[in-house]
Structure 1
Amino acid sequence: MNMSLHIRNIESQLTGIPAFTSGANEGCVFRRNIVVFRRNIVVFRRNIVIFLRNIVVFRRNIEVFRRNIVAFGADGIGHDLKTRMVR
């Protein structure tokens, strides 16, 4: 099996798009691959947005954690029981 056909078979397994060997069908496969590639870009952009949101939430959680350390003391024992937790 030549390397080009082997690579097509691997791509076919990964994308679920049948691997064609005739020249007439290669354009069809190429167009399908472009569609899959564009979908992957959309998913990648969504994942970046989710990642950035998670960073914001993480920073907020760190700030709340720091406030709680100040409010309850570094040893974890609440010295001022009237202190409310800050959200």
Structure 2
Amino acid sequence: MTHSRSLQVLVWGTALIMLFGAAILAGRDAPKATPAPAAASSADPDLARCRAAGQAALGDPACRRSWDGARARFFGHAPESRP
């Protein structure tokens, strides 16, 4: 009876040590938080104007250019040229 109890304690102790070690390693390699992007109105004042214009902004070429630029900055590539 004593032998099986000792083996059980050894197994549980080993498992707890392994879990504790894994938790320490996982916490150490956590990615650092990145700062939030600047507000849209500070990046391009036209975006705020277009947002306030609502449906009328859909036909405004300046709004389309601003949206293209914002989309390109968000996805990290050059804006498409619009006529």
State the TM-score, normalized to the length of structure 2: 0.44
Which entry has the higher C-alpha Rg, 1 or 2? 2
